[in-house]
Structure 1
Amino acid sequence: MKVIDIHSHFFPKTWPNLQEKFGGDDWPWLKHLPSKGEGFDKAMLMKGNKEFRPIYSACWDADVRLQQMNEHGLEQQIISATPILFAYEKPIEQALYCAQFFNDAALEICQQGKGRLFAMAQVPLQDIDVACKEASRAMNTGHVGIQIGNHVGEKNMDDEGVLTFLQHCAGEGIPVFVHPWDMMASERTKNYMMGWTVGMPAETQLSIVSMILGGGFDQVSETLKICFAHGGGAFAFLLGRLENAWHFRDIARGKSQFPPSHYLDRFYLDTAVFDHDALDLLVKKMTTNKLMFGTDYPFPLGEQKMGQLIKTSATLSPPEQQQLLATNAEQFFNLPISV
């Protein structure tokens, strides 16, 4: 079966010293580590003077990435920035510089990918006019979609500015991938990686619910292609609770014209859920038409045996497996049908 991973991340091997260029003490940078003969070059992603995440050369080396794709039977992969690079909290000139630099860097990695790597761009979402222009520029230079964070400061997905950006993407046929970041309750989830295992799924569910109850799907054109990461977080499991609240508490309806279940055909989810029961629930709620294979590669919390969750499903037929593994992604991102 053909396999396309829509959810993977990259870092350039190097980039300008943003702290020297713009000031401040919280910019991301890479501290490359001495090689210990372990097979991969490694680095520590820093945020200012604090360690943020260990990474390795799959993030920046297309050959390493292709080798591991071959080992797991992946034909194609879409790379996107890790949200620490978004710079939503920075002045717009600085955020635009970062977006353009990292967008161009992503294309440079893809150029080494032998036609198998594609990229989604980032945009400075704190300024909608600038974000729209950068989205259009990025698509014209070769990106296949745009990745955005699920909020900008206190503004959720139903913010009028964010909806204006989504309408721009709908009008230009630009696919959008929504990734959680800057997780809620950071002090209470700072231990045991709970920011990633609890905060990220909660942020993703919040982004979908805000689009529904905030009237986002009612306002934005139905032509919008939008996908949410990490299987939508807890959304599918808690849809019944959301639906019940909509029907029996008028204040729980927000601005939405219809019950939450009405909007399930308006968005996609990736399949980064790591559990067959969870995958079965997604299929039951979303149908196989609205799911796309994603791994969160090359990070430790990603799918380590890439593609095996879908390939070993006892409930999906081979045509349905192929739909999730590649067909939906080809259509969503307008990818070439053959490698």
Structure 2
Amino acid sequence: MSVIDVHSHFVPRGWPDLGTIAGGTGWPRLEVESERDAVIMIGSSEFRRISDECWNADRRLADMAEDGVDVQVVSPTPVFFSYDRPVGQAVKVAKVFNDLALEICAPAPGRLIPFCQVPLQDPDAACAELDRCLAAGHAGVEIGNHVGDRDLDDAGIVTFLQHCADRGVPVFVHPWDMPESPRLGRWMARWLAGMPAETHLSIVALILGGVFDRVPDTLRICFAHGGGSFPFWLGRLDNAWRRRPDVIAGSVLPPSAYMGRFSVDTVVFDERALRLLVDTVGVERVLLGSDYPYPLGERPVGELVRKAGFLDEPARAKLLGGNAREFLARP
């Protein structure tokens, strides 16, 4: 059984000036400091320091070999999504990074699996870019968990999800664009508290927004970071659905009835949390993820699953690769 990591990211080692290609200002750019080190800048502000794991296929494959990973899904870094831009600009930027993703993955076809990004703010443009990318060699799509104030039950986003279901395309949902405030500015709290809350809210939107009642179960959708805080609070959600139907009336069935309609990855770092995931969403719906190559990710990849004492060997094999194989399969 192959070990498959469904959650990793790439950043190219440079890209054309996005203002020249798409128009507008304030685009991300890369300051390359050495053969191995670079900084993503937004305007004059440092967004993130990165190294060559982000773009160097040989380095990535060496790390995969060290960690015992056979296949890695390679998705965009969310800072490039451009959902707040005019759709024409976002289409041009998506094409730049989607084409560069194919170049990064080209040295290891079948082992490095590219996922594309789309201009999610416009369903027609998003569907068109997805189709272009599928024809070019992408295997799936990564989307952010919201577009401004529009969550995943927004009519336009549901149109795109329906298109993915029709095409048999796996969808990986990554939290992004977390709120900022003085309280969230300390201790990386946007990532430590805001990011789990974002993912939680978007799963709630799919359920209470009635999306799972309207979109067929052919939709394969996986949420990053273990589904955020959602698994811990499913009981609260069910209780609210039963006790306050005057307020929570968006889904036909209680929220727990929709377990089995989505997957989550294993990026939770604690065996107790992993057990809760398996107990809540089901052993068939938990997929190995790492958040490679970023510093808050898991290394060695898969260590939590390999050491989890509550898993028997058939379950461990599902989490390490069997479930991901089903998630990635195209009709």
Using the size of structure 1 for normalisation, the TM-score is 0.94
Give the deviation of 1:141 after TM superposition: 1.3
Cα shift at 1:19? 3.1
Answer yes or no: is 1:259 the counterpart of 2:254: yes
Q: How does 1:146-295 map to 2 (within 5 A)?
A: 146-295=141-290
Report the more deviating stretch, 294-303 or 90-99: 90-99
State the 1:61 CA deviation. 0.4
Paired with 1:218 and 1:294, the residues of 2 have a C-alpha distance of 28
Distance across 1 between alignment mates of 2:275 and 2:232: 11
Alignment length (residue pairs): 330
Amino acid at match of 1:48: G
Give secondary structure in 1 for the equivalent of 2:259: helix
Q: Which amino acid aligns with 1:276?
A: E
Alignment correspondent of 1:29: 29
Q: Deviations over 1:131-173 (max 9, x none)?
A: 0111111112111111111100110011011111101111111
- Kindly state the Cα deviation for residue 185 of structure 1 after the two structures are TM-superposed: 4.1
Q: Distance in 1 between matches of 2:77 and 2:161?
A: 20
Q: Which amino acid aligns with 1:137?
A: R
C-alpha displacement of 1:233: 0.3
Within-5 A mapping of 1:99-118: 99-113=94-108, 115-118=110-113
* Matched residue, 1:311: 306
The within-5 A match list for 1:89-108 is 89-108=84-103
> Offset of 1:22 from its aligned partner?
4.2
Q: What is the SS of the residue equivalent to 1:148? A: strand
Indicate conservation of the 8 Å contact 1:25/1:49, yes or no.
no
CA distance in 2, matches of 1:269, 1:312: 19
- Opposite residue 33 of structure 1, the aligned amino acid is E
Cα distance in 1 for partners of 2:11, 2:146 equals 22
Secondary structure of 1:314 counterpart: coil
Question: Does the 8 A contact of 2:22 with 2:88 survive in 1?
Answer: no
Q: Over aligned residue pairs, what C-alpha RMSD do you find?
A: 1.3
What's the counterpart of residue 302 of structure 1?
297
1:122 corresponds to: 117
CA contact (8 A) 2:259 2:282 kept: no
| Cα separation, 2, equivalents of 1:299 and 1:15 | 20
Q: 1:321 aligns with which of 308, 313, 316?
A: 316
SS in 1 for 2:97: helix
Identity percentage of aligned residues: 51
Q: Which amino acid aligns with 2:12?
A: P
Task: Indicate the residue corresponding to 2:18 in structure 1.
Answer: 18
Q: 1-side partners of 2:93 and 2:207: how far apart?
A: 31
1:32-47 matches, cutoff 5 A: 32-34=32-34, 41-47=36-42
The Cα of 1:114 is off from its aligned counterpart by: 5.1
> Gaps (5+ residues) in structure 1?
36-40
**Structure 2: any 5+ residue segments left out of the alignment?**
none
Instruction: Identify if the C-alpha distance between structure 1 residues 11 and 292 changes in structure 2 by more than 3 Å, giving closer, same or farther.
Output: same
* TM-score, scaled to structure 2: 0.97
Contact 1:184 1:203 (8 Å CA) reproduced = no
One-letter amino acid of the structure 2 residue matched with residue 204 of structure 1: T
> What's the CA shift for 1:15?
0.3
Opposite residue 15 of structure 1, the aligned amino acid is W
Q: Distance in 2 between matches of 1:115 and 1:157?
A: 30
Whole-angstrom CA distance in 1 between matches of 2:128 and 2:150: 20
